[in-house]
Amino acid sequence: GLITLEELQQQVLKGRGKFAQDVSQDDLLRAIKKLKVLGNGFGIIPVGGTVLVQSVPAELNMDHTVVLQLAEKKGFVTVSEIRGSLRWETERAKQVLEHLLKEGMAWLDAQAPAEPQFWLPALFPERHGQDGAGEEATGAGP
């Protein structure tokens, strides 16, 4: 449902092969804007320093966008964080999160330690590999 513009560019370049013409982020933005005439299936959502590309026909209002901005730093958000940061009532926060879940834009971690966490997959791919975890050399002898 959501992907960063940077990740979309990498996927497009990877799928085109090494001899194809380069595709810039600006090229992608223009193409997405042109697709808008076909309906609300594709759109662009600026979230802080990140640009997300929406690829599902779902209506996102300002509440949804504000929650995406709140989740940008960690990749997830909780109802308590929304209530504390945005001064919203619990029901309003839950409605926004339920909509994101229903549209497949969020994943629910109901086993999180304190309270359920709502993860936004589009916001965490760029977090992978930054700390070097899982990239240890194997097979080294004593």
Average pLDDT over residues 79-104: 93
The H or E element that residue 90 is part of is: helix 90-102
Domain ranges of the chain: 2-123
4 within 8 A of 125, measured Cβ to Cβ:
yes
- Choice between 131 and 43, residue whose per-residue pLDDT is larger: 43
- CATH code that applies to domain 2-123: 1.10.10.10
pLDDT of residue 57: 62
Which residue matches tokens 């936004």? 120
Average pLDDT over residues 103-128: 83
Provide the pLDDT confidence category of residue 58 given band limits of 50, 70 and 90: low
Residue 80 has pLDDT above 90, yes or no: yes
Average pLDDT over residues 92-113: 92
Which residue matches tokens 């600006």? 26
Residue 7 has pLDDT above 50, yes or no: yes
Cα–Cα dist 70/40, whole Å: 24
| C-alpha distances in Å from residue 64, one per residue of 70, 93, 134, 141 | 10, 9, 33, 52
pLDDT of residue 134: 35
